[in-house]
Amino acid sequence: MRTVKKTIFTLNVDGYAPEITALTYPLIEAYADKIGADFHIISERKFPEWPVTYEKLQIYELAQEMGNDWNIYIDSDALVHPDTPDLTLLIPRDTVAHFGKDYAPTRWRSDRFFKRDGRNFGSGNWLTVASDLCIDLWKPLDDLTPVQAIANIFPTVSERISGVVNRAHLIDDYVLSRNIAKYGLKATTFLEIFTEELGYKEVKDANGKVIQPAGGNFFYHHYLFPTAQKVIEMKKVLRYWRVVEIMGLDVEDETPIDQAERIPGRMARVELSWLFNTSKNMESVVEIGSLNGRSTFVLCSGCNGGKGKVYAIDPWIFYGDWMAASDLQLASYKPGESFFKEFLKNCGHFPHLTAIKNTSVEAAKSFPDIEPDMVFIDGNHDYKSVLADLKAWAPRAKKLVCGHDLDEVGCEGVRKAITKYFGMDKVAVGPRTLWSVNVEQQG
């Protein structure tokens, strides 16, 4: 019985992002070994007049020269879970498959092939599988010049504002979409197969957190992140998959910022990093508004090298409204119920943390002797509440008063209150929506 010939292809011209491929290639190579496939890296240019992503179309000739029965393309920045099944067993030989698909007219100008075909199947070519019967999927264009083809590409708004993707970058997605229509290739997605046929439907916990995404957890790919952010996110996925040690991957231990990012909340990584580094120079911090403990975690980790005193002040009472948003994972609570246990689950292990279940004004009355180096304000964001927090705690700060959500939509009261109390000329802004006043310098 003849052995089925399979090859996994990827594209890597000019040594693309070695910090990424150090994470992805061991997984792709292990997957190739699992399914009995060769692994081939396209590393040289054959179509220099075209954008570099067009080089993926070398598969059209390479696959025929190799005598492949099946061809799998996986982008160099895609993670493949070790449990991923052999994708060639999931589709018939007369059908091509991507992980997902787009509605073609949102990104491509329709020509006679798209209009005649009518399916409007838009390729997402970071993961593609096709047999020798469907090799025309990767056939290079023979009726359009590079200028003409790129003129038919219209990136989405999210792609344009990412700063990562432009028209030329999407040339491979465009060509494969057009070839599906031009040659009438049957097409499906693994997202549909995994979800509908294999039962990997989206699963959420009681708080609305997705614990299993639709389509399973077999792949990770995010093409809109710059390289540095992509590496950070990929390392999180690898830790979540628990494959770092078994695959021998060089992934350093999690930082407090990495750990805090797993706690539901809305503070960005750059803001968490600022709080962590700033609190290192403080012996004590008062935090007003802690919620699930996302910012509390980095304050406790950073304050005086993790040995400083942190006071977290919050009533921890669920009252609906913005607190019911799915990203905060508190929707299972009823108005008036305490969600303090969520905070303790995330931050209760810090020995130098004191949690004060009260409003900031009442807490100030109950603890008149607390005089911290730093006060961080992130409670209610209306003008009266922020001003009350400032009046209650800013006079006690020895070094720094800072806060969150300056100029955030719906938080207009923050700027108004700090302008009233300090005057904006004394306020440093950033990173992002953080603000701070060095009261030590102000005297």
Domain boundary residue among 197, 212, 241? 197
- Assess if residue 62 is contained within a domain: yes
| pLDDT value at 253 more than 80 | no
Q: What's the pLDDT score for residue 319?
A: 85
pLDDT band at 420 (very low <50, low <70, confident <90, very high): very high
Does the structure show a pLDDT above 80 at 326? no
Please indicate, yes or no, whether residues 189 and 305 belong to a single structural domain of this protein: no
Alpha-carbon distance of 243 to 84, in angstroms, equals: 13
What mean pLDDT do residues 402-418 have? 94
The CATH code of the domain that includes 69 is 3.90.550
Domain assignment present for 245: no
Chain centre distance of CA 350 = 28
Q: Which two structure tokens, joined as six digits, stand for 342?
A: 């969520």
In a domain, 204, yes or no: no
Query: Range with the lowest mean pLDDT among 118-132, 157-171, 247-261?
Result: 247-261
Instruction: Average the pLDDT over 230-244 and give the result.
Output: 89
| Mean pLDDT score across all residues of the chain | 93
Question: Can you give the pLDDT at residue 210?
Answer: 66
* Domain-terminating residue out of 197, 215, 247: 197
Residues 163, 286 within the same domain: no
pLDDT value, residue 209: 65
CATH number, residue 416:
3.40.50.150
Distances (CA, A) of 189 to 72, 76, 80, 195, 241: 13, 20, 16, 10, 23
Residue 127 belongs to what domain range? 6-197
Task: Tell whether 268 and 387 lie within a shared domain.
Answer: yes
Distance CA 340, CA 356 (A): 10
* 208 within a domain of the structure (yes/no): no
Q: Are 59 and 9 in contact (CB under 8 A)?
A: yes
Give me the number of domains the chain comprises: 2
> What is the share, in percent, of the chain residues with pLDDT greater than 90?
78
- In tens, the pLDDT along 34-62 reads 999 999 999 999 999 999 999 999 999 99
139 and 267 share a domain? no
Longest Cα–Cα distance in the chain: 86
- 231 is a domain residue: no
Q: How far apart are CA 188 and CA 360, in angstroms?
A: 56
Within-domain flag for 129: yes
Q: What is the pLDDT of residue 141?
A: 98
* Choice between 226 and 434, residue whose per-residue pLDDT is larger: 434
d(CA 51, CA 44): 13
Same domain (yes/no): 189, 93: yes
Q: What's the whole-number mean pLDDT along residues 119-140?
A: 97
| pLDDT level of residue 218 (50, 70, 90 thresholds) | very high
Residues 271 and 123 in one domain: no
Sign of CA dihedral 314, 319, 325, 328: positive
Whether 377 is in a domain gets the answer yes
425 within domain boundaries: yes
Same domain, 35 and 173: yes
* Other CB atoms within 10 Å distance of the CB of residue 395: 12
For residues 60 and 154, membership in a common domain is answered with yes
Q: Which residue has the higher pLDDT, 244 or 285?
A: 285
Q: What is the pTM (predicted TM-score) of this model?
A: 0.70
Same domain, 127 and 263: no
Q: Which residue has the higher pLDDT, 209 or 116?
A: 116
Tell me which of 88-92, 156-160, 277-281 is least confident. 156-160
Residue 353: its pLDDT value, please?
A: 97
Mean predicted confidence (pLDDT) in 121-125: 94
Do 28 and 163 belong to one domain?
yes
